[in-house]
Each structure stands twice: as structure tokens, then as C-alpha cells.
């Protein structure tokens, strides 16, 4: 019989164990080993079968067992100690509280918006890297004490669960979640009723959502849920699935996340008596509508659209995560008109906002489309990519928004992603690190580098133990998968012997879009087979990953791997494990000796799985893409050479051959070369070097500190500057922008004179440049004038430019003259020009407005 409805009934906890309830609802347990061990000890078998979920343990454990534990003084004491430890974690001042600025300059709050959050497998509200990154961001913000609030949606089914059919095809299931059974609480009003936020829909309808709060350490995560009886049936389904449905479904989700998200933040800070956030961070463009809602708020406070936009931009940070134009979220402009227009009724989703202004924010080269990334960039003064390389790629990809600037001047910076050590490092490494660095450093996720002090024998023993645990986990999952695919117990004795705890183990696990090239390793199946079956130095390979349900090409790649791994000759050395998620990923990162990544460069914006492996002493074997491009140092792993400038098939051939060769000539020999003590000395050196040098750099705490110092702090200060004196700054900035827009066509460099240049100039020769500038009605203080030197190519284009500021020397014959004395900064074929940029103290930089004027072209 199928249940009509499911719900969760919580057990009554004996009074002496009431602390368990508190421990189970704060998701800090998900990265706090002692708390995890406490829950496990309640019922170890149930712990495993219940997917390591404290809420389920408390719901399903035998009441007699709970009564017995309530009588066990030792157990009760551990509960009380852990509750006390949690309180101390929540209350004690942390890194953020110790910043010298001590107040005014630090954000009063940061609202961090993301369409997915991967905090723990018990809350499967994520599909992959983006969501897990957002989860790690919250956890690191908690460890550092940031006043951050996460904002997203609660999906009824989260992302799908993957299994395999007998012939290796991906099958999907969407188990539905019961929020009551999750570590969530509802935001309620003073009378105890659920707070609902309202968002207007076309044709006079209303979409309502309740607000669940997941407590992630110190950080509240607000999750909007439309599945309530107050909504029309179709609107109840808005939060049904992550990345499911058509464009119409998606825009509703993004309106709810962005517009509804801001309203949820307002309700939450009001009911919980918290200050309003001073910074809004869009993690990717999906929640970009939040900027429009904030403009609406300010419009109703009496600001005009321009003033409101200036105010919103100052305090918004936008992070882009894709290096490919096809990866950007775009909606038909007509769909935006449908949802944001008034349909002639006079009432709309965002009253007071002119449709043309809305559309202009998302404009791109195709006028029929509305581009969410462009909207993100236009509604934020500060933007970044997620690795040095991705920052560079993004500057090129979005340079159309800054016409007249070279790509490297486009104001998009970068903060390289990081991973949350307590979540991703095995408890063994965390214990070792605490032993050598001390608890205090580890609490702030510092001191990781001290792991290099651990003796070689212990490092190696740890690696062996972790590989052994992984092999047991592989056997367990392999067996389950074979049964699911139709094998019988009697045929599966071989799975007990599959994989070996002593064989070099390579991991490859990630989503399966084409650019990640899941099947590159199969390019030459015989060569791979020889590597797997080498009698002296074999390799074993564990592969996992989900394909988007609509992506049959991706599913075909999975099938290729599964079919190869099904072959009887190699099945004990290569496996595809279905249902890659956080719970599986953990074992892979802990146990794999080598983490393989072979994307098509530069399509991996950052990549984080290799960082998690590195935290566990895994060595990366990767194309130099994303984070690896900046962090590979020749001794912490291997770089697979990239074959640029050839067609795709040949590129795959060349890069696969390079991969096999690295395995044969370097990876395997280093692993299997043992000293008399059985320890592979060179390997352990590389592990130690990885822990020491990468450990500190790949941490999410480093990432969140970078965001705080480079983005949140400046955005908060800019936000205060525009808000002061009744938004005087916003009005001034908007007025300035209007003046620049009106004047700019007339701004030109009339003439440029160079004086003092000798006949045969040498590097460092002094020269005076002077230029007459027509300011088109702007004042000298409204602009920056620069002399620009660079190497010239055959097209007279300047490269490797050096800019020198020119100062105003007054009007001469009615023309403003600017001049600079300088020394020739470059040698070779050198050229120069003069340019004018808008300048205002409330702009983040002179390139921000995307305007530049030069000499009139003849």
C-alpha cells in the first residue's frame, strides 16, 4: 500500500537527555566529530542504516534504549558537555569579532543568496559543486563569526538519487522530503503562526511561501517553501525540484529566491531583532532579482530609480561561477515582461519599477533575451570569479559591458574557492592537526601546515588506513549496486575481493557535463586495461558522478564507463559507484591516493573536489585548470599538459596519452618505490608538501576571510557612504552618473603634445605629455585623465600597458590642459595615447561605469 501522506513523529526524549534535541537541530553536528560519535553511540547499527542522521536516530531508536541511556551517567555527562561546547562555539568571540575596525567599518550583516546549499546529506538541497561551496561558505562564516544569513529555497525533492539499470543507464528517483523530519524550524510570528511572505504573480495571483530556518552553527539559513495549502495547486509546486522544469518554472523559482528572499530576510531580522544586512551577496546570477526588490524598497522610501540603483549597487557583491556563455542563465525578455509587468491591471510584482529600466539591467546582445549574469554585474559595484584563471576568463567573457577597455581592465576580480576542513578532512587528519597545531589554531582553521611535522611513518599509516576504509566502502556500495541491477547474492562473492587496500587508488567523481570528460581515461581502453592489470604496479580506479536528467549524452558517457567496469577481466580494479553525494564523496576524498581531473581548459571555473582530496594528503593529477592552475607547484602533484589549438578529438587523444604517460612514468613508480621500512619515501614527501603548502590555501576560511576583506568590508563601507544623510551619497552618485551619461559623447582628447623626448630615447628617458581635453561640460574633478604607454603591435594596438595619471593644469585658450612628467616605462616598439575616465569617490573604480574617451578618431 502506498501512503497518501508521510509525516514525522518525534520521540519523547527523557528529561536528562533533552540536550540531544538541541544537538540534533544545529547542523554543526555535521562537522563536529565528537557530536557525531555521540549520536552514533546511541545505536551504531541504526546510525548506519539511517544514513547518519541524528534526527532519524532520535525518531527511530527504541524507547527502552533511550531510557537506559538516561540512566547512564557517563552518557548524560557527555551530552551535557557537548551542549556546553556548542554554546561556547555559538557565543565566544571569533575572528570577525576580533577585527580591529571593531564596528563601523564591518558589515552589520551579510545576506548570502544561492539557489542551492549543500550543508549535509540529510538536507539534500544541492546538485553539486555550487551548492556544496555555498554550504562550506556558511560553515566557514560560522567558524569565523561572520554575521551572515544564508537565503535559498527548500526543494520538496532536492536533487535526484541516482541508480543504474542492468545495462548501465542512469535511472533517477526523486524521494520527497518532509521538512518536519529535517533539522529545520519555521519562522513564526509572536502568536506562533508561520510567517508567510507574498510575491505577486501575473493575473492578480499571489505566491506565498513559509520560511524554514536551518541553523548551521552560528549561521541561520533561510529556506523558502511554497508547498503550503494557501497557494494555488500549481504555485505549490514552485519549490518542487532543483533545476527541474521549464523556463517558466525557473523564473518563478528565481523570483521567489530573489524577491521573496529579500522579504524573508526582512521578516527574519524583524522577528529575531537583528540589524538589517549591510551587504547582499549573489552567489551566481540566479538570485539576481534581489537587486530589483531592494530598488523597490528604496523607491517606496522616496528615492528615484537611479538613486535606488546607485544605493543597491554599492552594497551588492556578485560572484560568477561559469566560464562559458552557454552556462549563463537567460530568460526570454517576454517572460520577464509577463512576470514584472502589470498586464494592464495597474498592479505588479514590483510597483514603481519601470519595465524598460528592469529590462535594461539584463540586456545583452540578443534583445529578445534577459541575461541574469549581466543583471548581476549591473546591480553590483563589486564582482568576482572563483579562481585567478576564472577571473581572467570572466573579464574576457563580460568585456562587452565595459566597451573601450582591454579585458584585463574589466573590473571583475577573483576569490579562489575553498573547502571546509572539518567537513572534508577525515577525523584522523583533524586529530593529528589538533595534536601538532593545538586546538585554538584549528578552531580558526589555521595551523594546517603544521601537519608536515608528523613523522613519515605516521603519515603513511594514516594514508593506508584511509585507503583501507575506502576499499570497504567501495565493496559495500558495489555489492548494493549489483543487487539493484539484478544480480543475485550467489553471483557476488567476487565483490568481497574487489579492490585492494594496497593498490594505488585513483578517484574521479564529479557531475558529468561534457567538458569534464568523464571518459577521457577510456580513450585507449587497452592502455587503461594494462595499467589496471599490471602485475607489479597496478592502479585501481573509482568513478562516480551524476548526469543532468535531461542530458542523454552525459548518461551515455556514464554507460560507457559502466560497461567497461562490468568486464570480468577488470571489474576488480575499476568501478562506477552510483549516487554520488556528500556521504559518498567523503570516503573518496579521504581514501584516494590520487585525485584525477581532466576538464577541457579553461572550462572548470575552480573545481573543489581536488582541494578536499589535498586536505587528506591526496595528490592531484589534473589539467591546469581552475584552482590547480594557480596552486600546482611542481611538487604537490602532477599537471596534465594541455593541447591547445588542435581539434577536439585530437586534443582528447593527446591529453589522454599524456595522462597515461604520467601514470606510467611518474605516479606509479613513485608510489611503488619502497624503502626497507616499506614506506614510499618520495610519495610521502609529496603528501607532506601537499599538506603543508596546499592545506592553508584551499580552506574555506581563507576564502571567507578574502571575501570579508576584499568585498564585504568595502561593500559595507560603500553602502554606508551612499546611505548617509538621507541617501545624499546615492543621490550624488546617481546625479553624477546622469551627468556623465549626458556629457560623455562630447568628451574628447583634442590634442596631445610630447616634450623633452630625445632623438634616440632610451628606457627611462624623461618626457612631458600634455593634452587638451574637451570635458563636454564636466569638471576636471569629474574625470581621471591618463597617459597610457604600451608596446605596439603591427596594428598599432597597445599591449602590456602602463598608465600614468595626468593632472589638471588649467584652461589654456578655453581648453582644459592636463599634463604628466614621466620616464619612458618600456623599451622596444613603444606607443602612447591619452584617455579620459569618469571619476567619483563613491565609484569602486574608474572603469566601473564602462566609459572611456580618447582622441577623436579621424
Ligand X SMILES: *Cc1c(COP(=O)(O)O)cnc(C)c1O
Residue numbers at the binding site for ligand X (CB under 6 A): 128-129, 132, 510, 580-582, 585, 607-609, 612
- Comparing CB distances to ligand X, the nearer of 214 and 775 is 214
Strand ranges for 348-444 from DSSP E: 369-371, 382-385, 413-414
**Shortest distance in whole angstroms from residue 159 CB to ligand X:** 10
**Does the bond joining 602 to the residue before it have cis omega, within 30 degrees of 0?**
yes
Cell of 37: 560519535
**Shortest distance in whole angstroms from residue 637 CB to ligand X:** 14
Cell of 13: 526524549
- Comparing CB distances to ligand X, the nearer of 588 and 730 is 588
**Shortest distance in whole angstroms from residue 121 CB to ligand X:** 9
- Comparing CB distances to ligand X, the nearer of 128 and 719 is 128
- Comparing CB distances to ligand X, the nearer of 109 and 695 is 695
Backbone φ and ψ for 123, nearest 5 degrees, come out as -125, 75
Query: What secondary structure letter does DSSP report for 123?
Result: S
**Shortest distance in whole angstroms from residue 125 CB to ligand X:** 13
Determine contact, residues 174/219, Cβ cutoff 8 Å: no
- Comparing CB distances to ligand X, the nearer of 56 and 612 is 612
- Comparing CB distances to ligand X, the nearer of 127 and 142 is 127
**Shortest distance in whole angstroms from residue 156 CB to ligand X:** 21
3-state secondary structure of 202: helix
- Comparing CB distances to ligand X, the nearer of 612 and 705 is 612
- Comparing CB distances to ligand X, the nearer of 121 and 227 is 121
Q: What is the dihedral of CA 65, 70, 74, 77, to 10 degrees?
A: 130
**Shortest distance in whole angstroms from residue 718 CB to ligand X:** 31
- Comparing CB distances to ligand X, the nearer of 697 and 791 is 697
**Shortest distance in whole angstroms from residue 631 CB to ligand X:** 13
**Shortest distance in whole angstroms from residue 281 CB to ligand X:** 20
Buried/exposed 66-105: b ≥16 CB within 10 Å, e otherwise: beebbeeeebbebbeebbeebeebeeeebbbeebeeeeee
Rounded Cα gap, residues 269 and 273, in angstroms: 6
**Shortest distance in whole angstroms from residue 135 CB to ligand X:** 9
**Shortest distance in whole angstroms from residue 581 CB to ligand X:** 5
Rounded Cα gap, residues 315 and 845, in angstroms: 15
**Shortest distance in whole angstroms from residue 51 CB to ligand X:** 14
**Shortest distance in whole angstroms from residue 620 CB to ligand X:** 10
**Shortest distance in whole angstroms from residue 568 CB to ligand X:** 30
Rounded Cα gap, residues 41 and 196, in angstroms: 39
Cell of 838: 569618469
**Shortest distance in whole angstroms from residue 321 CB to ligand X:** 10
- Comparing CB distances to ligand X, the nearer of 295 and 512 is 512
User: CA-based angle 766:770:774, to the nearest 5?
Assistant: 160
Query: What secondary structure letter does DSSP report for 176?
Result: P
**Shortest distance in whole angstroms from residue 254 CB to ligand X:** 22
- Comparing CB distances to ligand X, the nearer of 580 and 638 is 580
Rounded Cα gap, residues 821 and 796, in angstroms: 24
3-state secondary structure 431-460: HHHHHHHCHHHHHCCCCHHHHHHCCHHHHH
Measured from the Cβ of residue 186, the count of other Cβ atoms closer than 10 Å reads 15
User: What crossing angle do the helices spanning 525-533 and 648-662 adopt, rounded to 10°?
Assistant: 10
Rounded Cα gap, residues 207 and 251, in angstroms: 13
Buried/exposed 5-34: b ≥16 CB within 10 Å, e otherwise: eeeeeeeebbebbebbeebbbbbbbbbbee
- Comparing CB distances to ligand X, the nearer of 582 and 734 is 582
**Shortest distance in whole angstroms from residue 625 CB to ligand X:** 10
- Comparing CB distances to ligand X, the nearer of 384 and 597 is 597
Closest C-alpha to 358, from 380, 383, 381, 341: 341
- Comparing CB distances to ligand X, the nearer of 162 and 384 is 162
Determine contact, residues 95/144, Cβ cutoff 8 Å: yes
Rounded Cα gap, residues 130 and 285, in angstroms: 12
CA distances from 60 to 47, 50, 82, 265 (A): 10, 9, 22, 34
First CA to last CA distance, the chain? 82
Cell of 785: 585623465
- Comparing CB distances to ligand X, the nearer of 231 and 608 is 608
3-state secondary structure of 195: coil
C-alpha 624, offset from chain centre: 19
Q: Say if strands 170-173 and 161-164 run parallel, antiparallel, or are unpaired.
A: antiparallel
Residues 6+ apart with CB under 8 A from 497: 572
Rounded Cα gap, residues 144 and 547, in angstroms: 35
- Comparing CB distances to ligand X, the nearer of 217 and 418 is 418
Cell of 825: 616605462
Amino acid at each position: 500500500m502506498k501512503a497518501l501522506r508521510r509525516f514525522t513523529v518525534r520521540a519523547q526524549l527523557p528529561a536528562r537527555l533533552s540536550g540531544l534535541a538541541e544537538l540534533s537541530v544545529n547542523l554543526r553536528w555535521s562537522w563536529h566529530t565528537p557530536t557525531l560519535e555521540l549520536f552514533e553511540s546511541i545505536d551504531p547499527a541504526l546510525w548506519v542504516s539511517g544514513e547518519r542522521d541524528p534526527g532519524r536516530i532520535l525518531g527511530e531508536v527504541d524507547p527502552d534504549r533511550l531510557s537506559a541511556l538516561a540512566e547512564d551517567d557517563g552518557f548524560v555527562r557527555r551530552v551535557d558537555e557537548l551542549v556546553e561546547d556548542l554554546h561556547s562555539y555559538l557565543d565566544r568571540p571569533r575572528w570577525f569579532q576580533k577585527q580591529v575596525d571593531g564596528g563601523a567599518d564591518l558589515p552589520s550583516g551579510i545576506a548570502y543568496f544561492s539557489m542551492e546549499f549543500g550543508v549535509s546529506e540529510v538536507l539534500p538541497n544541492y546538485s553539486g559543486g555550487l551548492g556544496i561551496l555555498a554550504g562550506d561558505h556558511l560553515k566557514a562564516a560560522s567558524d569565523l563569526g561572520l554575521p551572515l544569513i544564508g537565503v535559498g529555497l527548500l526543494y520538496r525533492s532536492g536533487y535526484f538519487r541516482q541508480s543504474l539499470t542492468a545495462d548501465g543507464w542512469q535511472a533517477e528517483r526523486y524521494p520527497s522530503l518532509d521538512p518536519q523530519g529535517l533539522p529545520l524550524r519555521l519562522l513564526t510570528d509572536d502568536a506562533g503562526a508561520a510567517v508567510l511572505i507574498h510575491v505577486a504573480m501575473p493575473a492578480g495571483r499571489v505566491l506565498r511561501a513559509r520560511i524554514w530556518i536551518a541553523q548551521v552553527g552560528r549561521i541561520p539559513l533561510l529556506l523558502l517553501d511554497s508547498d503550503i495549502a494557501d497557494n494555488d495547486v500549481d504555485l505549490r509546486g514552485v519549490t518542487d525540484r532543483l533545476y527541474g522544469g521549464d523556463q517558466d518554472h525557473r523564473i518563478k523559482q528565481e523570483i521567489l529566491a530573489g524577491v521573496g528572499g529579500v522579504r524573508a530576510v526582512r521578516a527574519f531580522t524583524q522577528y529575531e531583532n537583528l540589524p538589517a544586512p549591510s551587504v547582499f551577496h549573489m552567489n551566481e546570477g540566479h538570485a539576481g532579482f534581489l537587486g530589483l526588490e531592494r530598488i523597490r524598497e528604496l523607491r517606496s522610501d522616496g528615492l528615484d530609480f537611479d538613486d535606488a540603483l546607485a544605493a543597491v549597487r554599492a552594497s551588492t557583491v556578485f560572484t560568477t561561477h561559469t566560464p562559458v556563455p552557454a552556462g549563463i542563465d537567460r530568460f526570454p525578455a517576454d517572460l520577464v515582461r509577463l512576470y514584472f509587468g502589470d498586464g494592464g491591471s495597474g498592479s505588479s510584482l514590483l510597483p514603481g519599477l519601470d519595465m524598460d529600466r528592469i529590462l535594461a539591467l539584463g540586456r545583452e546582445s540578443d534583445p529578445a533575451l534577459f541575461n541574469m549574469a549581466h543583471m548581476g554585474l549591473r546591480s553590483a559595484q563589486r564582482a568576482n570569479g572563483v579562481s585567478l584563471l576564472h577571473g581572467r576568463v570572466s573579464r574576457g567573457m563580460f568585456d562587452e559591458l565595459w566597451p573601450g577597455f582591454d579585458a584585463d581592465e574589466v573590473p571583475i576580480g577573483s576569490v579562489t574557492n575553498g573547502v571546509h576542513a572539518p567537513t572534508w578532512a577525515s577525523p584522523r587528519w583533524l586529530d593529528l592537526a589538533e595534536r601538532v597545531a593545538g586546538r585554538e589554531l584549528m578552531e580558526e582553521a589555521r595551523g594546517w601546515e603544521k601537519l608536515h611535522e608528523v613523522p613519515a611513518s605516521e603519515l603513511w599509516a594514516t594514508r593506508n588506513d584511509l585507503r583501507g576504509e575506502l576499499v570497504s566502502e567501495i565493496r559495500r556500495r558495489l555489492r548494493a549496486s549489483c543487487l539493484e541491477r539484478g544480480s543475485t547474492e550467489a553471483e557476488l562473492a567476487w565483490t568481497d575481493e574487489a579492490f585492494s587496500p594496497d593498490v594505488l587508488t585513483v578517484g574521479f567523481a564529479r557531475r558529468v557535463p561534457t567538458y569534464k570528460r568523464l571518459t577521457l581515461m577510456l580513450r585507449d581502453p587497452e592502455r587503461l586495461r594494462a595499467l589496471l592489470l599490471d602485475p607489479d604496479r597496478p592502479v585501481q580506479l573509482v568513478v562516480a558522478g551524476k548526469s543532468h536528467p535531461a542530458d542523454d549524452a552525459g548518461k551515455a558517457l556514464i554507460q560507457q564507463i559502466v560497461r567497461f567496469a562490468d568486464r570480468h577481466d577488470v571489474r576488480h580494479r575499476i568501478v562506477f559507484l552510483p549516487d554520488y553525494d556528500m556521504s559518498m564523496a567523503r570516503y573518496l576524498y579521504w581514501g584516494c591516493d590520487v585525485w584525477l581531473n581532466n576538464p577541457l581548459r579553461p572550462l572548470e571555473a575552480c573545481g573543489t573536489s581536488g582541494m578536499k582530496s589535498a586536505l587528506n594528503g591526496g595528490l592531484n593529477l589534473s589539467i591546469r585548470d581552475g584552482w590547480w592552475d594557480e596552486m600546482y607547484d611542481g611538487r604537490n602533484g602532477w599537471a596534465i599538459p594541455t593541447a591547445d589549438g588542435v581539434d577536439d578529438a585530437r586534443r582528447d587523444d593527446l591529453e589522454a596519452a599524456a595522462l597515461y604517460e604520467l601514470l606510467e612514468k611518474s605516479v606509479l613508480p613513485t608510489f611503488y618505490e619502497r624503502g626497507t621500512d616499506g614506506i614510499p619515501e618520495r610519495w610521502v614527501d609529496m603528501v607532506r608538501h601537499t599538506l603543508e603548502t596546499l592545506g592553508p590555501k584551499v580552506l574555506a576560511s581563507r576564502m571567507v576571510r578574502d571575501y570579508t576583506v576584499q568585498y564585504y568590508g568595502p561593500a559595507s563601507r560603500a553602502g554606508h557612504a551612499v546611505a548617509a544623510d538621507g541617501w545624499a551619497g546615492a543621490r550624488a552618485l546617481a546625479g553624477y552618473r546622469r551627468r556623465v551619461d549626458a556629457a560623455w559623447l562630447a568628451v574628447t582628447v583634442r590634442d596631445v603634445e610630447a616634450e623633452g623626448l630625445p632623438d634616440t630615447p632610451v628606457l627611462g628617458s624623461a618626457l612631458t605629455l600634455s593634452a587638451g581635453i574637451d570635458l563636454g561640460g564636466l569638471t576636471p574633478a569629474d574625470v581621471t585623465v591618463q597617459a597610457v604607454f604600451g608596446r605596439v603591435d603591427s596594428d598599432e594596438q597597445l599591449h602590456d600597458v602602463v598608465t600614468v595619471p595626468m593632472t589638471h593644469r588649467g584652461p589654456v585658450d578655453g581648453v582644459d590642459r592636463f599634463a604628466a612628467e614621466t620616464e619612458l616605462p618600456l623599451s622596444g616598439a613603444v606607443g602612447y595615447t591619452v584617455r579620459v575616465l569618469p571619476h567619483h569617490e563613491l565609484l569602486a573604480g574608474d572603469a566601473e561605469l564602462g566609459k572611456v574617451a580618447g582622441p577623436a578618431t579621424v
